[in-house]
Amino acid sequence: MPGRIRIVKGAFATAVGLSMPRGRELDEVYLSYVNELLQAGHKCSIATHHYEIQQEAKKLVDLYKPSQADYEFESLYGIQEENLWALKAEGYMTKLYFVYGTEWYLYLCNRLAEYPLNLFRALTDVVGE
């Protein structure tokens, strides 16, 4: 199938048996998909904040040398962005996923459901301002 494929671990809990829990096995599967796509020359977005996965994926990019249009590292705005900036500084293709517009409330709820600790981050930001 044509089109870019974004590899993510998945944000939400699913029914038992439908997904794998966080851990080494999931990380290996994640990287195996990245490997498969890069090896096949298929457009691929490596969307994760996981530092170790980013480092391993870098090795795959160095190995297969996809064109600049064929791969990118992606992160959500505000989440461990420094890793993404470091990748950019090293010359890798990067994209920061930035949400804007009027439908912000639903997105906020989504982010909190995905990672409840973000609530503390939001409070810290408000107090910090």
Site of interaction with ligand FAD (CB under 6 A): 8-12, 22, 47-50, 74-76, 79-80, 97, 114-115, 118
Which residue, 21 or 65, has its beta carbon nearer to ligand FAD? 21
The answer to whether 78 and 45 have CB atoms below 8 angstroms apart is no
Q: Could you give the CA distance from residue 77 to residue 111 in angstroms, rounded to a whole number?
A: 11
Q: What are the phi and psi torsion angles at 75 (to 5°)?
A: -140, 160
- Give least dist CB 10 to ligand FAD, A: 4
Cβ 3 to ligand FAD shortest distance, Å:
15
**Phi, psi for residue 60 in degrees, rounded to 5:** -70, -40
Minimum Å distance from CB 99 to ligand FAD? 10
Min dist. Cβ of residue 63 to ligand FAD (A): 21
Smaller CB distance to ligand FAD: residue 8 or 108? 8
Q: 20 CB contacts (<8 Å, ≥6 apart)?
A: 26, 29
